[in-house]
Amino acid sequence: MTKPEKTLMISPIQHGTVIDHITPGQGLTVISILGIARGTSETVTVACNVESSHGGRKDLVKIANRELVKEEVDKIALVAPDATISIIRDYQVVDKKLVETPDIISGVITCPNPNCITNTKEPVPTIFAAHSRGFRCRYCDTVISREHDIGNYI
Amino acid sequence: MTVNQKNILSVRDMEREEIDRLLSAAAEFDRGNGTGHELDGKILAVLFFEPSTRTRMSFSSAMMRLGGKILNLGSVEATSIAKGETLSDTIRVVSGYADAIVLRHPKEGAARLASEVATVPVINGGDGAGQHPSQTLLDLYTIRESMPLSNIDIGLQGDLRYGRTVHSLAFALSKYNNVRIHTIAPEGLDFPASLKADLSELGVELICHDAVEECLPELDVLYVTRLQRERFPDPVAFDSYASTYRITPELLEIAKPNMIVLHPLPRVDEIDPRVDSLPCAKYFEQAHNGVPVRMAMLNEVMKS
């Protein structure tokens, strides 16, 4: 029996950004972090639990006609620390980089402490600072440890 | 927040040198070495969104003893807060009325938020279960009046899970050398795991005990806090626990002669009133120390 020819599950994009090697199950959280979950003019493709060439499974996000900047993609590191970001122009990868966990994360994580001042009607974004065990709320000192699923607080 | 605006929000933010400087300044005021005119013409806004006796009155007393004046929020029900105004807006407005703000608020992080929108210094007078730096400084001051802050064994007894005073005190003591912290708390009311991890990272030796007798002979300081029935994991067991945790003159016979007993007050049944007349009972002195310590804090943030 001949081995079936390997085909691409997702079409390549002409221009835009490909976020690859996302931790399985975090693809939808990634587009939420990027603020493109709630209506966008770009074509967004999300693939979940696809086979990785490195073995195992991964999620994958492609955003056509939009090149993400570093500040945007670094937020992804919260839930997908191994993700890679490729910028595509004319079907060619012109830039490829790893995500880096930012020192300060503003307006992305909701503080899990219900008594934190950020969980009130005050007009203040949450601010979390990188900490040895995870991320610490600037206001109430609550730590979301890396063992927790940070995606639950995004 | 303006450039050079000096706030006192949390002992986490403070270096040991800053703490020592404030405690030394408090000692000067305590010994009557102030002029009484350090803050002449200055106004302190006292914004308390929660009930308080000692903190509110001692900040007011401290301001008056420095020659300054007090502007009180009054009852929350009679203010614009009752109309739905945000804390941020209240603070922005009050910044124009006073030279500094002392804030007590039920939400954790309220003082830090206030400091970000205020144009005058903000002192945290206690925020929810969070920070209460003036209490911590007066606790340290009271200990320092009896012994050096380094090389001591301190027992923390009572509700260590929700008690903000013991959290702040443990953090502050982590800045001093060779301080061993002994915790004595009912199951479920011990230090939160994240706090234990923080203290461990700071190199603090933390020893847990089931009963105070286990560590009492080693202690230089016994810091007792109130057990609250509503926070007890098993309300039925509260009464038997409360009697077990009671400090009595008989129990204190095994303590070192120079050990001191502290309590942030108000107390309920944790300390037998017969202890009050013993030389080790420093909790009323501790409450009185709130005035010179808060004088030092107010002078620090408002001095020219």
Same structural domain, B249 and B186: yes
pLDDT of A10-47, one tens digit each?
788 999 999 999 989 888 888 888 877 666 778 889 99
Residue B137 within any structural domain of the chain: no
The radius of gyration of chain B from alpha carbons, rounded to an integer in Å, stands at: 19
Radius of gyration, CA atoms only, chain A: 17
What's the pLDDT at B242?
A: 73
Residue A5 reports pLDDT greater than 60: no
Tell me which residue in A115, A123, A133 faces B128 most closely, judged by beta carbons.
Answer: A115
A41 touching B, CB under 8 A?
A: no
User: Tokens 């390997």 map to which residue?
Assistant: A6
pLDDT band at A1 (very low <50, low <70, confident <90, very high): low
Determine the residue type at A154: I
Answer yes or no: is B98 within a domain: yes
Q: Does B146 touch chain A (CB under 8 A)?
A: no
Average pLDDT over residues A80-101: 91
Residues B124 and B57 in one domain: yes
Residue B1 is assigned to a structural domain of this protein:
no
Kindly state whether residue B140 falls inside one of the protein's structural domains. Answer: no
Within this chain, do residues B263 and B174 fall inside the same structural domain, yes or no? yes
Q: What is the mean pLDDT of chain A?
A: 85
Q: Is B202 on the interface with A (CB under 8 A)?
A: no
Q: What does the H/E/C string look like for chain A?
A: CCCCCCCCCCCCCCEEEEEEEECCCCHHHHHHHCCCCCCCCCCEEEEEEEECCCCCEEEEEEEECCCCCHHHHHHHHHCCCCCEEEEEECCEEEEEEECCCCCEEECCCCCCCCCEHHHCCCCCCCEEEEECCEEEECCCCCEEECCCCHHHHC
Give the pair of three-digit tokens for residue B75: 């009852």
Nearest of A133, A108, A129, A128 to residue B192 by alpha carbon: A133
Cross-chain residue pair B107–A143, CB shorter than 8 Å: no
In terms of domains, do B37 and B150 share one?
A: no
* A139 vs B112, B194, B201: nearest CB: B112
Token pair 């303590």 in the structure block, residue: B255
d(CA B199, CA B205): 8
**First vs last C-alpha separation in chain B:** 17
Q: Does residue B238 sit within a domain?
A: yes
Query: Does one domain contain both B295 and B186?
Result: no
For residue A142, give every residue at least 6 positions away whose Cβ sits within 8 Å of its Cβ, in sequence order, or none.
A111, A112, A113, A116, A136, B194
Band of pLDDT at residue B232, cut at 50, 70 and 90? low
B167 and B282 together in one domain: yes
Using alpha carbons, select from B59, B55, B8 the residue that is nearest to residue B264.
B55
- Delineate the domains of chain A, giving CATH numbers in brackets: 15-98 (3.30.70.140), 104-147 (2.30.30.20)
- Tell me the pLDDT band of B161, cut-offs 50, 70 and 90: confident
Helix (H, G, I), strand (E, B) or coil at B187: coil
Helix (H/G/I), strand (E/B), else coil: B138: helix
Number of Cβ pairs closer than 8 Å across A and B? Answer: 53
Q: How many domains does chain B have?
A: 2
Q: Can you give the pLDDT at residue B159?
A: 87
Q: Are residues B222 and B110 in the same domain?
A: no
More reliable by pLDDT, B273 or B4:
B273
Other Cβ atoms within 10 Å of A90 Cβ, number = 7
Instruction: Give the confidence band of B304 by pLDDT, cuts at 50, 70, 90.
Output: low
**B172 and B75 both lie in a single domain:** no
Q: Domain range for residue B283?
A: 146-287
The answer to whether the CB of A21 falls within 8 A of the CB of A58 is yes
- Residue B109's pLDDT band (cuts 50, 70, 90): very high
Residue A9 has pLDDT above 70, yes or no: no
Could you tell me the CATH number of the domain that includes residue B213? 3.40.50.1370
Task: Out of A121, A133, A140, name the one closest to residue B109 (CB).
Answer: A140
pLDDT digits 0-9 by tens, B293-302: 999 999 999 9
Q: Are residues B242 and B263 in the same domain?
A: yes
Question: In this structure, are residues B133 and B111 in contact, taking their beta carbons and an 8 Å threshold?
Answer: no
Specify which of A68-82, A124-138, B154-168, B272-286 reaches the highest per-range mean pLDDT: B272-286
B271 shares a domain with B170: yes
Whether residues B122 and B151 share a domain: the answer is no
Tell me whether residue B136 is in a domain. Answer: no
| B5 part of a folded domain | no
Contact A117, A139 (CB under 8 A): yes
